[in-house]
Structure formats: structure tokens, C-alpha cells
Amino acid sequence: MPDPTDTKSRVRRDIQCIGCSYSLNGVARNGRCPECGLLVSASLMMLPAVLPTANQDDHRRRRAVWAAVLLGLTILWLIIAARWLL
């Protein structure tokens, strides 16, 4: 039997039940929605289609940082090359 104080086995975000839109925050992941009885796992399976994961957000942020660094280095290289050629 899962430990009721174990927060890892509970939903920690404001995810809504796909059956009744009840907030599943704090409900056990292997349990049922207190409002309509639908399995919480059914709502959690729909998450990737609805919410971007943290990994996707981190990947986008990292990609943007690398793009900015490469743009900065390119501009710096062009300035140095222009001065060297003059």
C-alpha cells in the first residue's frame, strides 16, 4: 500500500481530470478522481498532448542561448575581420 505522505506518488501540479475538470493536485497518481471516479492515470496520459514538459522548455531555452552565443561570436568575428582587412 502506498504511503499517503509520499508526495512523489501524488499529482503535484494543477492537472484537471479529463472526465469532469476536477483539479487532481494532491490526488494519488494510481488513484481515482474524487469527483467522477475516472482513473488519474487517464488524465496524466493526456498531459504530453496538453502541456509541454520541463525538458522541452529547457531544450528551447538552451537552444535560444546557443543561438545568441553563436550570433554574438559571428558578429565579433566580422568586426575583427573587417579591422584586419583595413
Question: Domain boundaries in the chain?
Answer: 1-51, 53-86
Q: What is the pLDDT of residue 7?
A: 53
Count CB atoms within 10 A of the CB of residue 19.
15
Q: Is the pLDDT confidence value at 20 over 80?
A: yes
Confidence at 36, pLDDT banded by 50, 70, 90:
very high
Q: What is the pLDDT of residue 15?
A: 85
Q: C-alpha grid cell for residue 8?
A: 512523489
- List Cα–Cα distances, 29 to 3, 4, 22, 51, in angstroms: 12, 11, 14, 17
Q: Quote the pTM value.
A: 0.48
Q: Where are the beta strands (DSSP E) in the chain?
A: none
38-76 pLDDT, tens digit each: 999 888 887 765 555 566 667 788 899 999 999 999 999
| Bridge partners (DSSP) listed for residue 32 | 39
